[in-house]
Structure 1
Amino acid sequence: MIPINNWSEDLKPLLLKYKGRKHPLEYQNLYQLMVMVILSAQDSDANINKIAPSLFNVYPTLESLSVSNIEALSSHISKVRNFGTKAAWLIEIAKTLKKDSNIPTTMEELTALKGIGRKSANVIMREAGSPAEGIIADLHVIRVAPRIGIINEVKDGNKVEKQLMQSLQKDIWGEIGMAISFLGRETCRPTNPKCGECPISLICYYYNNQS
């Protein structure tokens, strides 16, 4: 890890580029976002975006989902990885919350629901505009944050989030995770990263230590 004293300042170009950009999941409301975030676990955003329109035509609200069953729901999400387990989670959540207006936007309440861990909760809270209680640590962040030099390399998302929370000032928690994720998707690719296009290459450990 490189000794940077003020990450808020050094990461400012990254935040300026991506702050406020909508998540790649193509949702229309908080209900759709929650469902799509749960479905996207261990799957791609692109795949979830493909199946979402037909799914929400049949299940436009939590109320409609709550009166369904696992078998019926599974037939609409069968192209999603682990669809059976996710169908069970969604039905249980729908029966628990009952209607869209009851969808929570705090870490404690969200992670109390089946199928929603800290990463998913952070995404939902960010998109809902709720005060950040953590930092999004998706697969892109897990790969890119150590490459930049913010944290040590670990593969567990919760450990990555904990390290990031220790390294970064709280005033940037709400946006920095998604900003690093977008950087990983667009520029800081696993192989042949586009360092010449990176807004923070000058403070990047990887860029400054290439042989």
Structure 2
Amino acid sequence: MKRNLQIKELFLKNFDKPITELKFKNLYELIVCVMLSAQCTDKRVNLITPNLFKAYPDIKSLANANLSSLKSYIQSCSFFNNKAQNLIKMAKAVCENFNGEIPLNEKDLKSLAGVGQKTAHVVLIEWCGANFMAVDTHVFRVSHRLNLSKAKTPEATEEDLTRIFKDNLNYLHQAMVLFGRYTCKAKKPLCKECFLSHLCTSKDKEI
């Protein structure tokens, strides 16, 4: 469909090979950041992680972490109780099942506690440049406002976007995240500044 192709081209043109705003130095830090970022802002995660990674600099130290100590480092993060438990379980599983090496395929990543499809895809997108789509709240909102999907779940929305866009999915995912975060916001979207305004028929449109 011509309109969908235009949307894709405009995303790629306006966001030049975008990357996540999460700050990490290695694969271990990336997976921890992505797990913490679920239903929490990247900005908040970036405030938490410097001290967290000083205390737990690698997967082994995280696997051996004391639960209440770990919670104290991430308590300003949403759902920190669950996340702390999952982080330790994830780290233990990596040490026990994968010789301390975080796996880089979807099936094995999803076998880890706290790692669903979205988290697995974001890790593979950011670390490997994998041709995957991942749907968070921003991507979900943007894809529905632009009538790219009418699906009720993130997983089904991901299927729609993957079918429509086919390639460059890693860049399109991050472009849609940033677009949803700063332009096509949940409240008061910046429609007058939007490069997709002429292609948008959303009821939320503000002109």
Q: The TM-score by the shorter chain falls in which range?
A: 0.7 to 0.9
Partner residue, 1:123:
122
Q: Is the 8 A contact 1:92 1:114 kept in 2?
A: yes
Identity of matched residues, %: 31
Q: Which moved more, 1:30-39 or 1:100-109?
A: 100-109
Partner residue, 2:170:
174
* Paired residue total: 204
Change (3 A) 1:80 1:57: same
1:104 aligns to 2:103 (yes or no): yes
Distance 2:121 2:158 in 1: 10
Deviations 1:50-73 (A, max 9, x none): 111110111111121122232221
The structure showing larger relative contact order (alpha-carbon pairs under 8 Å, at least 6 residues apart) is: 1
Distance 1:79 1:121 in 2: 24
Deviations 1:99-126 (A, max 9, x none): 8961122211211111011111121111
Cα shift at 1:17: 2.1
Change (3 A) 1:100 1:57: farther
Deviations 1:133-179 (A, max 9, x none): x311110111111111211163x22222122223x132132221221
Cα shift at 1:131: 2.4
Deviations 1:15-40 (A, max 9, x none): 12224222121222211110011112
- CA root-mean-square deviation: 2.4
Report the TM-score when normalising by structure 1: 0.85
Distance 1:121 1:19 in 2: 23
Change (3 A) 1:103 1:46: same
User: Which of structure 1's runs of 4+ aligned residues deviate more than 3 A?
Assistant: none
Structure 2 gaps of 5+ residues are none
Change (3 A) 1:42 1:25: same
SS at match of 1:81: coil
* Equivalences for residues 3-42 of structure 1 within 5 A: 4-5=1-2, 7-42=4-39
SS at match of 2:73: coil
Aligned AA (2:170): G
Q: Is the 8 A contact 1:38 1:115 kept in 2?
A: yes
